[in-house]
């Protein structure tokens, strides 16, 4: 029995895997509001050119610089674990493996991309990164990365989270990050909102606007912006999760998994575990690859595949993705990292191709799964991660019914020690199921119809 499958430092993957090289149909390009493809120079004020090159790359394997590996070695390779205690509890013939991304210093998979992004910016001569954060997972990961690489880091944190979740802010401060409540008085976007709504709780949309403005208006030209999910280069960096997992499964004599599961908000964690196995599926392997989203934010299962903006202020390019409309505001479920209206275009293209088959699960089932996890495996998972566990429990039960010894792999994207208020709500009976009402879906279609480029696509092939 192998409960913990370890990979030695010298066996860490030395290249990231880029699914863009292997998609049956090429990825649809990002567009400007007037429908023209976005060119690299348009992105240059926001991202450094070496990151923009990765964003557009269709090269299959991209070398990971040694200096980046030297930083990642603090927690990578991460353990692959066998969830034997959950298996026993479920009396399932399935073998459940999970890639433990909670072991990073910030406690999630996010630093897998924060570190390379900080490093490439530093290489390009950038001195400072800006970003936004909601619950604080991404902000703390970027502050951590900037500390280790030697960049300044400025985080615009949604005001209500800033006030209610002081611990994430403190993590950023320990790592030298400068975290302010958004809207702030430091940007035009922030000042404008504050003048109109002095008591606003803030929103991710406002925080994005402030972070981008702060980057592009710095007169020194030495500040750029950093995003923690959705974009191609982010998913590229996260592929290390699945590449390590593949090597670890092989080391204990497992062939390919039958099922791969991950929770998906913007798609970076799910893609991290999924894409290296999606390549095998493209090459003929039979694997169910399942991104799990909350029923409160069901863009993959009930949204449209359309060109839409990444943010409510329509500052980003239009991207071809599954979306509930950029104006959609998800219910305040505790899995803050899954509250996003869109999905990474690379994941969406895989869904269109039939390579990924999304499912949505309600938060009550997810917290039940998290409690089962805590009393069997013993660890307290993040609310986002509980969605993956709920999906895995469904699969393990199905394997039991079918009497099949399936191999199930999932990404344990983070621990829940900074998110215990959600458990409190669940344990005290305050949590309720939440299924997005049909009228909200209709509203999202109207939102999309209002934008000439934001039209539904029936397939990825046009």
Footprint on this chain of a second copy (rule: CB under 8 A): 1-4, 6, 8-9, 73-75, 85, 103, 105, 107, 144, 147-148, 166-167, 170-171, 173-176, 371, 374-375, 377-380, 417-418, 420-421, 423-424, 427
For residues 370 and 387, what is the distance between their CA atoms, to the nearest angstrom? 8
CB 299 within 8 A of CB 322: yes
| Burial of 315 per CB tally in 10 Å (0-12, 13-18, 19+) | middle
Residues 6+ apart with CB under 8 A from 386: 263, 335, 366, 367, 369, 370, 373, 416
Helices (H), 383-433: 383-402, 420-427
Q: Cβ of residue 431: shortest distance to a second copy, in angstroms?
A: 14
Nearer to a second copy by C-beta: 177 or 342? Answer: 177
Closest CB to a second copy among residues 122, 299: 122
**Residue number, 219 or 378, with CB nearest to a second copy:** 378
**What's the closest the beta carbon of residue 376 comes to a second copy, in angstroms?**
9
Residues 6+ apart with CB under 8 A from 260: 242, 273, 274, 277, 287, 288, 289, 290, 408, 409, 410
Least distance from C-beta 388 to a second copy, angstroms? 18
Q: State the number of CA atoms in the 13 A half-sphere of 413 facing the CB.
A: 30
Select 107 or 317, whichever has its Cβ closest to a second copy. 107
Whole-angstrom distance, CA of residue 80 vs CA of residue 247: 10
Helix then strand count (H, E) for the chain reads 18, 15
Largest CA distance in the chain: 65
Q: In whole angstroms, how close is the CB of 424 to a second copy at the nearest point?
A: 5
Q: Which is nearer to a second copy, 70 or 446 (CB)?
A: 70
In the complex with a second copy, the residue whose CB is nearer, 95 or 326, is: 95
Residue 116's region, left for phi above 0, alpha for psi from -120 to 50, else beta, is alpha
C-alpha–C-alpha distance, residues 291 and 289, integer Å: 7
Of 114 and 289, CB closest to a second copy? 114
- Given strand 288-294, what is the order of strands in its sheet? 4-5, 80-82, 95-100, 407-412, 259-263, 288-294, 359-361
Provide the minimum distance between the beta carbon of 383 and a second copy in the complex, in angstroms, as a whole number: 12
* Cis preceding linkage at 77, omega within 30: yes
Edge-first strand listing for the sheet containing 128-133: 178-182, 152-158, 128-133, 223-225
Three-class SS of residue 441?
helix
Q: Find the shortest distance in angstroms from Cβ 109 to a second copy.
A: 15
Closest distance between a second copy and the C-beta of residue 162, in Å? 14
Nearest to 69 by CA among 133, 131, 23, 112: 112
Run of H or E including 407: strand 407-412
Q: Which is nearer to a second copy, 12 or 282 (CB)?
A: 12
CB of 145: closest distance to a second copy in angstroms? 9
Cβ at position 176, least distance to a second copy in Å: 7
Of the pair 47, 175, the CB lying nearest a second copy is at 175
Smallest gap from residue 102 Cβ to a second copy (A): 10
Task: Compute the least distance from the CB of residue 168 to a second copy, in Å.
Answer: 9
Three-state secondary structure of 343-396: CCHHHHHHHHCCCCCCEEECHHHHHHHHHHHHHHCCCCECHHHHHHHHHHHHHH
Closest to a second copy by CB, 297 vs 380, is 380
Shortest distance, CB of residue 135 to a second copy, whole angstroms?
14
Indicate the residue among 75 and 124 with the shorter CB distance to a second copy: 75
Is residue 247 within 8 Å of residue 80, measured between CB atoms?
Answer: no
Residue 357 near residue 312, CB atoms below 8 Å: no
Q: What torsion, rounded to 10 degrees, do the Cα atoms 156, 162, 166, 169 define?
A: 0
Of the two residues 105 and 201, which places its CB atom closer to a second copy in the complex? Answer: 105
């Amino acid at each position: 029995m192998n409960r913990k499958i370890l990979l030695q430092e010298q066996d860490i993957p030395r290249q990231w895997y880029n699914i863009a090289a292997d998609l049956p149909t090429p990825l649809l390009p990002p567009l400007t509001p007037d429908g023209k493809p976005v060119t690299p120079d348009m992105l240059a004020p926001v991202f450094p050119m070496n990151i923009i090159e990765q964003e557009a790359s269709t090269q299959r394997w991209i070398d990971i610089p040694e200096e980046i590996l030297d930083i990642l070695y603090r927690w990578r390779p991460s353990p692959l674990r066998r969830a034997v205690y959950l298996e026993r509890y479920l009396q399932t013939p399935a073998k459940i493996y999970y890639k433990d991304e909670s072991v990073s210093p910030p406690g999630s998979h996010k630093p897998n991309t924060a570190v390379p992004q900080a490093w490439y910016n530093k290489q390009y001569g950038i001195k400072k990164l800006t970003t936004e954060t909601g619950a604080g997972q991404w902000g703390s990961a970027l502050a951590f990365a900037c500390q280790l690489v030697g960049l300044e880091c400025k985080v615009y944190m949604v005001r209500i989270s800033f006030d209610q979740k002081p611990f994430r802010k403190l993590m950023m401060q320990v790592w030298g990050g400068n975290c302010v409540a958004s809207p702030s008085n430091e940007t035009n976007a922030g000042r404008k909102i504050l003048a109109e709504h002095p008591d606003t709780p803030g929103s991710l949309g406002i925080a994005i606007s402030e972070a981008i403005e702060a980057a592009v208006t710095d007169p020194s030209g030495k500040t750029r912006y950093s995003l923690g999910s959705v974009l191609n280069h982010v998913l590229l960096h996260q592929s290390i999760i699945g590449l390590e997992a593949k090597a670890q499964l092989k080391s204990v004599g497992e062939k390919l998994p039958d099922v791969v599961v991950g929770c998906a908000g913007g798609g970076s964690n799910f893609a991290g575990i999924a894409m290296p196995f999606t390549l095998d599926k493209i090459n003929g392997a039979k694997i169910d690859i399942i991104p799990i989203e909350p029923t409160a934010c069901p863009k993959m299962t009930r949204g449209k595949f359309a060109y839409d903006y990444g943010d409510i202020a329509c500052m980003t390019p239009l991207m071809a993705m599954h979306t509930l409309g950029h104006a959609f505001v998800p219910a305040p479920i505790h899995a803050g990292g899954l509250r996003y209206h869109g999905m990474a275009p690379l994941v969406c293209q895989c869904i269109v191709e039939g390579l990924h088959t999304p499912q949505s699960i309600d938060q009550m089932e997810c917290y039940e799964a998290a409690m089962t996890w805590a009393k069997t495996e013993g660890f307290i998972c993040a609310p986002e991660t509980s969605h993956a566990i709920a999906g895995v429990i469904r699969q393990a039960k199905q394997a039991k019914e079918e009497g099949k010894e399936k191999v199930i792999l999932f990404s344990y994207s983070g621990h829940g020690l900074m998110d215990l208020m959600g458990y409190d709500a669940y344990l005290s009976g305050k949590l309720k199921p939440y299924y997005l009402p049909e009228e909200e879906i209709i509203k999202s279609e109207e939102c999309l119809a209002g934008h000439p480029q934001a039209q539904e696509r029936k397939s990825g092939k046009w």
